[in-house]
């Protein structure tokens, strides 16, 4: 069958990330629908560690949510990161809202952490917006601090 099928198209026109529903909602409602995401140019970059592989992150969070494992390390990390984000970004401009959001995050039911897979259209996100500081050398990981709705779609919710 050699030569009868077309060559696969490169997939680098897209980036992929796993995001928790609660994080998406927090950014959508309280950060002007501007999203902060780490992403890779592959859905399953096996050279990355599990902490930087959208498929592995999705699976870990999905299992924890479905088992209602509130003590799962990944859910604890997500909760801690959200608390930090609220303190840093919302706290300085609205202390009362920051306190209310932190209380809500600390008591949020596990279902609010259900994972999503996002596909980022990299043709719409100029490479100058991609940041790599803090990335592991040799891993396919970078982040964008100002992703907007027309630049991504939620593939799995």
**Statement: residue 107 has pLDDT above 70:** yes
Residue among 60, 82, 86 nearest 73 (CA):
60
- Give strand pairing partners of 156: 117
On whether the CB atoms of residues 115 and 58 are closer than 8 A, the answer is yes
pLDDT bucket at 4, cuts 50 / 70 / 90 = confident
Model confidence band, residue 6 (pLDDT cutoffs 50, 70, 90): confident
pLDDT tops 80 at residue 31: yes
Q: What is the mean pLDDT of residues 124-143?
A: 95
pLDDT reading at 10 higher than 60: no
Task: Say if pTM beats, i.e. exceeds, 0.85.
Answer: yes
């Amino acid at each position: 069958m050699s030569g009868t099928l077309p060559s696969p198209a490169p997939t680098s026109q897209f980036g992929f990330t796993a995001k928790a529903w609660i994080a998406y909602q927090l950014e959508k409602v309280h950060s002007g629908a501007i999203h902060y995401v780490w992403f890779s140019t592959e859905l399953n970059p096996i050279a990355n560690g599990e902490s930087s592989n959208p498929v592995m992150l999705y699976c870990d969070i999905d299992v924890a949510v479905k088992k209602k494992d509130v003590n799962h390390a990944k859910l604890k990390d997500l909760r801690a990161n959200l608390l930090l984000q609220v303190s840093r970004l919302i706290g300085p401009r609205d202390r009362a809202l920051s306190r209310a959001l932190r209380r809500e995050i600390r008591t949020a039911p596990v279902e609010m952490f259900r994972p999503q897979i996002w596909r980022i259209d990299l043709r719409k996100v100029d490479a100058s917006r991609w940041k790599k500081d803090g990335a592991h050398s040799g891993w396919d990981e970078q982040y964008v601090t100002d992703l907007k709705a027309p630049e991504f779609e939620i593939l799995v919710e």
